[in-house]
Amino acid sequence: MSAAVFAAVFIALYIGHSVGDHWVQTSHQSATKGKPGWAGRLADTRHVATLTATKLAVLLLATTVLDLDITVPGLVAGLGADALTHWWADRRSTLAWLARVTGQSEFYSLGSSAHPVHPVTAEGRPAGHLGTGAYALDQSFHHLWLLVAALIIATV
């Protein structure tokens, strides 16, 4: 495996992830994907489909411009592993469970009204903030799987 191929693939996946998770995902998908039942499952599936398509587009652009040596089986396996784990985490209850079993429940609730010191204004109303522990753990989980996907794509 070429370290340069791995690095280029990881960067492309990371950029594709950021664009797909924040710009391409619809408000409906974001609000619905964690709900129980088929409505949540389908919203999550649509989100992961557009997210994976975004990652593929960015990766194919990088592969073409940089003449990266990757294979179709590696691409399918890497993006497949990434898509499955992204879908699992974005069901929300699953990631909350992982936070609970790893002792991260308090951090998971950081920035939300469930946290013991959640942000409030001087008037006692919920205060705006830049993120939550749940979001930070979500993105960290996805970044780990981007690494795994990049390793698979670069070596298979």
* pTM for the full predicted model: 0.87
What pLDDT, on the 0 to 100 scale, is given for residue 1?
62
Q: Sorting pLDDT into bands at 50, 70 and 90, what band is 90?
A: very high
> What is the residue-wise DSSP string for 3-27?
HHHHHHHHHHHHHHHHHIIIIIS-H
Could you state, in order of their start, the residue ranges of all structural domains in the chain?
3-155
Higher pLDDT residue, 111 or 148? 148
